[in-house]
Structures are given as C-alpha cells and as structure tokens.
Amino acid sequence: MINLAEPNLSGNEMAYLRQCVDTNFVSSVGPFVTQFEQAFAQFVGSPHAVAISNGTAAIHMALILAGVGPGDEVIVSDFTFAASGNPIFYQGARPILVDSEMDTWNLDPALVVEELDRRARLDRPMPKVVLAVHILGCPARLDAIAEACDRYGIWLIEDAAEALGARYTEGVFAGRQVGTIGRIGCFSFNGNKIMTTGGGGMLVTADAVLAQQAKHLTTQAKLPGYAYFHNEVGYNYRLTNLAAALGVAQLERLGSFLQRKAEIANRYDAAFQGLAGVVCPPRPAGLTPTFWLYSILLQCRWEAPLEQLLEKGIQTRPLWTALHMMPPYKEVTLLGSGRVSESLCAHGLSLPCSTGLSGDDQQSVIEAVLKLHRQSS
C-alpha cells in the first residue's frame, strides 16, 4: 500500500524518547516541553509559543482567550475540517460560515469584509472573532481581513494546523509565516501532518500576557507553589515531555520535510498540469504553500476514483465535507452561496505525499491517475 501521509521518524526521535524514559520525565513536566516551545517560536517567527495537547485544544484555548462565550458569533471557513468549527460550539457561540474562493480554496476575504462593513453600516453587533483557516497548506489571503478586524476591534485567529511553514511573499505580510498574522495562531502535530508529535499542537502569539494566560489555563489554572490552588476554571491541555521530545526531533528536520513536500508537488504538477478535467492545487501569486496534502480536483466525483486507486494499492482521501452540509451546522449563517466549498468537497482527492514517498511509488501514483483519466475521457 502506498499510504497517503505517513510520519517520517528517522532522525533523533528515538534518542530523545530514551532520554525521557531514562530520566522519568514522561508526563507534562520535563525539559523538552520548554525546548520545543522555544524552537517552534523561533522557526515560525513568533515571540511566544505554548505547547498544547492537540490542534483542536489550541483553537479552543484561543477562543477562550478571545473571550468568546454564549451568544457570541465567530466567522470561520466553511470548507475546513470539523475541528476548526467545533470549538466555537464548545463556548456556546454561533459559527458564521464563509464560502471559499477558487484561487486559494480558503475563505473568501471579500465575503468577510462585506459582512463586517454591512454590520457597521446597520449598527449591528460584530462577531467576536474571525477564525481564518489555511487549507491544505495554502495561506489564506488575510490583508483585507486583518485590516477590517483592526478597524472594527475584532480578533483575528489563524487555524494553521494544515499549513506549517507556509508563508507570504508579497503584500503587507511579506516574509511572514502563517500563524503569525492574527492575535493567535494555532498548529497541529497529528500523525499525518508535515511534522508530528504523535498528537499535540501549539498556540503562538506576539502578546506575552496572552501566552502567560494560555500556559496558566492549559495547566489546570493552578497557581505556583505547593498548594493545589486554582484561581479559575482551567483545562488539562498540557503536552507531555514525550510528545515534545518527538517535536524537537521533528523540528530539526522540518526544513528538509518542507523541501521534500515541494519536490513531490512539483512532480505531480508536471504530470497533471494542463490535463483536461484535472485541476492542480492552488499556487497563488504572493503565497508560498507547503502542500501538506497534495490535492487535485477531478471533473467527476471522488468516490469511484478513490475505490479504483485503492484497488491498485494507492491510498487517497476526499477533501473535507463543507461544514454547512453537516447536521451540527445546518442552522448556522452561511456567507456566500456555498457552491465553491460544495464543489471542492465533491471533486477533491488527496494523493500520497509523505515526505518519505519514493520516486518509484510517486510514479506509480501518477501512472494510475493518468490511466483513470484516459479511461474516463
């Protein structure tokens, strides 16, 4: 089986895990947690980073820090994994979903700005947060959104779980990585991400007070000292030293992982570019994607190609089901028609793109996709 996205654990992972076991630092206390936070902050270019148990918890914590509560509204991408939207419900708030733009597959900034300006004209309450998701490794266009959020006093939070290492090369954010534009950026290290801690996540911010609050709340809001005294409701969202050890080892090789992802994407592009009925993933001007998952759009729906490729020993996955199409989100507001996000999830298919993917295996995937295309033409 040529798997979709496998972890690459051939560096110092085992050596650092042995250090944890040898020193008995296997839980949330240990030197690798701090080391991981510092190294990650340096890599993405953020002053502060707080290790957290997973990417969903990072988003939840970001919403808590933003003061989101019952009755509040949060603007969020419609075409995204459910973990982007679910934490809004945790806080008793209401999502406002935003259709995608075809240029990046991310939330359409024009729809966001139009809604905020409309509310301002009508003197309507503003959403508390805009939660922008960087889909499948491609940065979302945030220039206009960030400006509007600043104008109306709205928090901008980034879900960068799928886009670690992606960056802006033009515009007001040129030279900056995803996750460092908003008040808070959230990352995930699930097993299929570009780098992994087996699970886990990270919250980054330029605000020292927010970072301190995040660290406090994610460690059960326990005050320093021997007494078990908690001054507010906290959360057990800590990352273990074992997971952080994996993270430190993975960070050491993240540059090579990103380079390999680019090489895989370039080879797929060369094979599929210009092929009628196949759309390659976005490469918008001024944005540098990481191609966490290399995903194409087919003229047909994804179901039959997925089964046919699976029969050939090639694992693929459809793209995310648009949030507005699922029961928990049926009654929420949708900005835009939803047709773009519906089209993406109906026709999108992710191809094997592990950093350890061999040239021969990638060629097998390419030939299988080309054969399916010839048969359907």
The full 3-state SS of 287-351, as one line of letters, equals: EECCCCCEEEEECCCCHHHHHHHHHCCECCEECCCCHHHCHHHCCCEEECCCHHHHHHHHHEEEE
- The proportion of the chain whose per-residue pLDDT surpasses 70, expressed as a percent, equals 100
pLDDT at 183: 98
Asked whether residue 339 carries a pLDDT value surpassing 80, the answer given is yes
Element (H, E) at 150: helix 143-152
pLDDT at 113: 98
Asked whether residue 377 carries a pLDDT value surpassing 80, the answer given is no
> Model confidence over 200-236: pLDDT tens digits?
999 999 999 999 999 999 999 999 999 999 999 999 9
Q: How confident is the model at residue 376 (pLDDT cuts 50, 70, 90)?
A: confident
φ, ψ (nearest 5 deg) of residue 230? -115, 120
pLDDT at 92: 98
Asked whether residue 353 carries a pLDDT value surpassing 90, the answer given is yes
Query: Mean pLDDT throughout 113-135?
Result: 98
pLDDT at 16: 98
> What value does the mean pLDDT of the chain take?
97
pLDDT at 375: 87
Query: Mean pLDDT throughout 327-340?
Result: 97
Asked whether residue 116 carries a pLDDT value surpassing 80, the answer given is yes
Query: Mean pLDDT throughout 67-89?
Result: 98
Domains, in order of start, for the chain: 13-251 (3.40.640.10), 254-376 (3.90.1150.10)
Residue 256, CA atoms < 13 Å, CB-side half-sphere:
11
